[in-house]
Chains A and B, each alone.
Chain A
Amino acid sequence: MKVLVVEDFDLLRDSICQGLREAGFAVDAAADGQTALWQATSSHYDVVILDLMLPKLDGLTVLRQLRGKGVSTHVLILTAKDTTTDRITGLNTGADDYLVKPFDFAELLARVRALVRRQYQAKNPVLSVQDMQIDTTTRTVRRAETAVDLTPREYALLEFLALRQGQVVTRTDIWEHVYEFNADATSNVVDVFIGHLRRKLELPGLPRLLHTRRGHGYVLGSTEEGL
């Protein structure tokens, strides 16, 4: 899952980025409105965390222009403005959620996860793929009652695939959503992580969950064998 953090206060921006990365998100950051607008239109994010009082271009203008350009990314406004009028204005301008500073990081994380779930119309925080359960709140994976131990990157990849289970997901999709904008990852890295993930998910005596579609990408939990 990929998140854009727009915040002009260095300490806060860096901390949010670090916290989100440690929670398994791919994170890009912007310190002013212009950069944020450019990044949000040129790359696909699952969630944008947007401050309102920003240099160069204020947050509401960024949001208005994003919506005007048809960008439907979920936007969470994170601001010190706390009046009801401010909240209403924010939501009416096209925000999906509104959180007032100062906040609990755990709450921000929960809200970002909720926005991600909403993105894929999955209201249940526990995703099921055949005999596998993925708890997106505790970020634990069980297959056939056996706990599967994953690194944050592997987990992020699995969650991304699970939210699109049964669909073919291309390498580019994975690369864009799971890895950061300025990370030096190539699509080969995707193959490597898919390999790691497959090894951990395959258990003796159980059917395969992660399938490769040559020339297309990958499918999690497909039932149409032999395609």
Chain B
Amino acid sequence: MIGSLRARLVLGTTIATLIVYTLAALLLYGVIRLSLLAEFDRALSTQAHALVAAVETGDHGVKLDVEPNQFGPAEPGDGFLLRGPDGATIGHAGSFDIADWPALPPDATGHEAFGFRRLGRHHAVRFVALHFVPRAEDEDHLVPATTSPLALLVTRNAQSLEDKLHQLAWLLVGVFGVTTLISAAIMVGVIRHGLRPLGVLAQRIAGLAETDLATRINLQDAPREMEPVVQRLNELLARLEDSFARERSFTADVAHELRTPLAGLTTALQVCASQSRAPEEYQRVLGQCLKVSRSMRMMVENLLTLARADAHQIKPASRLIDLNTLLPDTWAEFAPRATAQGLQIAWSLGPGISLNTDPGLLTVVLRNLFDNAVAYTNDGGTVCIETRTDAQAVVVGIANTGSHVDVQDAPKVFDRFWRSDAARTATGEHCGLGLALCQRIALILGGTIGATSIAGGEFAVTLRFPTGQ
């Protein structure tokens, strides 16, 4: 789930800003804290060393030589504690409870250990602990009387330091928090502005109506990153427009081809029924209507087959068919009409020509070709039907005299609803779907179909089925 691009960008940049600012604030806080502590510790250390300097050891033990108020407590928590090697207190100052303080770590002499302690609820105390060997009282005694180190703890109220650090922390949180909010607000604005072309583009696209497919998205309206998308979209629109236009003209043609014979049937029947007539008159009208309804049925079937072929719903079977049987069998249906028109039929069947194909579909093709041949051959003309094989293919040719089609129009005969003007007068009987269907089926059967024509001369359709496969 991608969600809103703008929300993602705002959220992402805000989180990134927050992380960067937090790191910067932490770093800044750490550096300042370290430097403040170092300063504080230096003072503490100096005080500890002053105490160390005040401790002397002599024949009569350890002696602490300080002014009573030199290390006296100025604030709660200020003070010191000096212990001997045996843990006995040698001297102390300040009001803190000794029991609260842990035993000093048995550290190496001279090392200072710093730390914090809380004193009650309101005071933080900084301490330094160290071990040292006190200097001898008399400088003449080169050997110190006591060699065991003493432990010294010096404490000092550090509440003001703590307060300072707290203030610093809040200041940083405040400053960076506000900065983060401001930059987030700026980001929202910047991103909204940056994404505006996308919104404009989306509006343009939303404004595209299916009724107006001629509209294209102007490339100047789109950001460069979107150009490929816009280009694809325009191409898609062009293809859609094209196919809608084809669809519309196809639908208009279908409507015309079905409506005209339907109007003919209705009118013929209405006029006929408007008054009583002689039986022969009824027979004549009914005969005409029957003829029209038969050709309408053929047309509807052709349309359906074409629609199925277009939807890839036709799965051709494959059987070995003897063409020299199939062609005469299919022709038998058309022979009476041909005889009635006085047509000559010239058969030229090559010996033993068979083909692996779908007999049902091939019959549909042959019936359409025969139907055309009978319908368009001039009275007393000739229809030639031949089968042969050449190096690459099995060939079926059907030709007739008295062509209505001009030489240059020959390839158009396979367009849906294309008819020569001369053939148009036969509206309702031949609607220009037959050859389109033949071409579609020939392709499904793995073959090809072609036509040649000389107006007033020969019109020939050739089916070729490659033998290689």
The chain A residues found within 8 Å of chain B, CB to CB, are: 8-12, 14-16, 18-19, 22, 31-32, 53-56, 79-83, 100-106, 108
Contacts and interface: CB of A to CB of B under 8 A. Distances in A.
B261 interface: yes
Contacts of B421: 32, 55-56
Interface residues of B, number: 29
Contact of B256 (A15, A19, A53): A53
Contact of B271 (A56, A100, A103, A105): A105
B422 A55 contact: yes
19 contacts: A8-B427, A9-B261, A11-B261, A11-B292, A15-B271, A19-B267, A19-B274, A31-B425, A56-B421, A79-B256, A80-B255, A80-B257, A80-B263, A81-B255, A101-B263, A102-B265, A102-B267, A104-B266, A104-B270
Contact of B424 (A16, A55, A101): A55
Contacts of B304: none
Nearest to A18: B271
B266 A105 contact: yes
Contacts of A81: 252, 255-256
A22 B255 contact: no
Which of B256, B262, B264, B266 has the most CB atoms of chain A within a 10 A radius of its CB? Answer: B264
A10 B271 contact: no
Contacts of B134: none
Contacts of B266: 102-105
Interface in B265-317: 265-268, 270-272, 274-275, 288-289, 292
B259 A16 contact: no
A12 B424 contact: no
Contacts of B261: 9, 11-12
B262 A102 contact: yes
B303 to A, nearest CB: 15
Given A80-B255, A101-B259, A102-B262, A16 B267 contact: yes
Contacts of B260: 9, 12, 80, 101
Contacts of A54: 424
Contacts of B258: 80
Contacts of B256: 53, 79-81
B274 to A, nearest CB: 7
Contacts of B267: 12, 15-16, 19, 102-103, 105, 108
Given A12-B260, A31-B425, A101-B262, A82 B255 contact: yes
Contact of A10 (B252, B257, B425): B425
Contacts of A19: 267, 270-271, 274
A8 B272 CA distance: 20
Contacts of A32: 421, 425
A190 to B, nearest CB: 26
A213 B262 CA distance: 49
6 closest A-B pairs by beta carbon, nearest first, are A12-B264, A101-B263, A80-B259, A19-B271, A11-B264, A80-B256
B428 interface: yes
A81 B255 CA distance: 8
A19 B275 CA distance: 10
Nearest to A10: B425
B415 to A, nearest CB: 16
A8 B255 contact: no
Contacts of A53: 256, 424
A102 B288 contact: no
Given A19-B267, A105-B271, A11 B255 contact: no
Nearest to A11: B264
Contacts of B259: 80, 100-102
Nearest to A19: B271
Nearest to A33: B421
A55 B265 CA distance: 21
Contacts of A18: 271
Contacts of A102: 259, 262-263, 265-267
A210 B292 CA distance: 47
A100 B258 CA distance: 12
Interface in B220-272: 252, 255-268, 270-272
A83 B256 CA distance: 12
B268 A22 contact: no
Nearest to B266: A102
Given A11-B292, A53-B256, A100-B259, 13 more contacts: A8-B427, A9-B260, A9-B428, A10-B264, A11-B264, A12-B268, A15-B267, A22-B274, A54-B424, A55-B424, A80-B257, A80-B259, A108-B267
Contact of A11 (B252, B257, B274, B288): B288
B264 A105 contact: no
Interface in B416-466: 421-422, 424-425, 427-428
